[in-house]
Structure 1
């Protein structure tokens, strides 16, 4: 029996070394684990000494304070050439005891590793990331088309406000994890 359920295409042979560094969130599907008033959202990836796992630092600013969570990423299937990664975070950030694992699939990346489209198999999350705080509108529209072709509802994408220049350093930190508690209740 034929099924018309399209398999999501992902990047093959992702160069992890080139992928490392800072990425600015250009747009994403809103999620419960990110404050609703998030601005200047970014991710910084650092390859660990083993050359296979990645340290992940996700940061955003909410109410003028920096909130962040750290985790790790690794290939879902080490023998596969597909860019299907797993990311693991421990929550809540202020008392990291519960591991939460999610999918991080690289759907498209340009040859120079300057912008990327990231999704996951259930199509509940989608991110457009860029090395700069701004992305050319034509490129953005091409990424929207790619996401649409893969079955994502791009109408749910929200552009992430990014300051120019982006904030440097860490800034005032939300040490109480209030944003995380609020996010559970959809605030």
Structure 2
């Protein structure tokens, strides 16, 4: 099963994909804070076609974040296979680390998405809202299972409504957990 090539969405309109996505669930990583909540990603398309990525999470009321970029793995392919690049450590951009970001499912209205990696070690359920309808969530989980993921590892991310504002509040600038969790290291 794990040898089967994953089905990836084709023809994603990057402009429509931009904006904020809330993490509804993900595979926990030992690098990610166990009590991280309100985790979200904000994507902004630059003029050169590269995507700016801002990942944020809150732990004990402190905002942790890391910034990076994303770009199509193969500019000539219409498959939604992106590479995400972060620098370690974030405040000292010396070593770029690159991970895979494959869009496995995206609804027609660009309201929810299933993101994976070829290693199948990482999986994310993202939504434009802080909450996703159970029926839709279960469909996405079923889809992930069909693609060979161990969905028993999925952990729901606590999201508060309304979500925190962002830049304000005490910061946790380490951000290292984000990079490692994204890269499957």
Paired with 1:71 and 1:32, the residues of 2 have a C-alpha distance of 21
Task: Find the counterpart in structure 2 of residue 78 from structure 1.
Answer: 75
Q: Where has structure 1 moved over 3 Å in runs of 4 or more?
A: none
1:138 maps to 2:135: yes
Alpha-carbon distance, 1:38 to partner: 0.6
Greater Cα offset, 92-101 or 22-31: 92-101
1:119 to 116, 132, 136: 116
Q: Give the 3-state SS of the residue equivalent to 1:146 in structure 2.
A: helix
The DSSP-based 3-state class of the residue aligned with 2:171 is coil
Structure 2: 5+ residue stretches without partners: 181-185
Residue 152 of structure 2 aligns to a residue whose secondary structure is helix
Partners in 1 of 2:2 and 2:25 — Cα distance? 29
Taking structure 1 as reference, are residues 148 and 176 closer, same or farther at Cα in structure 2, changes over 3 Å only?
closer
Note the C-alpha offset of 1:172: 2.0
Unaligned runs of 5+ in 1: none
Q: Secondary structure of 1:93's match?
A: coil
2:6 maps to 1:8:
yes
Task: Please tell me the root mean square deviation across aligned C-alpha atoms, in Å.
Answer: 1.9
* Residues 1:28 and 2:29 are matched in the alignment: no
Which residue of 1 is the match for residue 176 of structure 2?
Answer: 180
Question: What TM-score, normalized by structure 1, do the two folds share?
Answer: 0.90
Post-superposition offset of 1:34: 2.5
Number of aligned residue pairs: give it: 179
Which string of whole-angstrom CA distances, capped at 9 and with x for unpartnered residues, describes residues 6-62 of structure 1?
Answer: 110000000000000000000001124432211000000000111x21000000001
* In the alignment, structure 1 residue 17 sits paired with structure 2 residue 15: yes
Cα distance, 1:4 vs structure 2: 8.2
Q: Indicate how the Cα distance of structure 1 residues 77 and 176 shifts in structure 2: closer, same or farther if over 3 A, else same.
A: closer
Cα distance, 1:63 vs structure 2: 1.9
Q: Secondary structure at the match of 1:10?
A: coil
Counterparts of 1:50-89 in structure 2 under 5 Å? 50=48, 52-89=49-86
Q: Residue 40 of structure 1: SS of its match in structure 2? A: strand
CA distance in 2, matches of 1:32, 1:116: 23
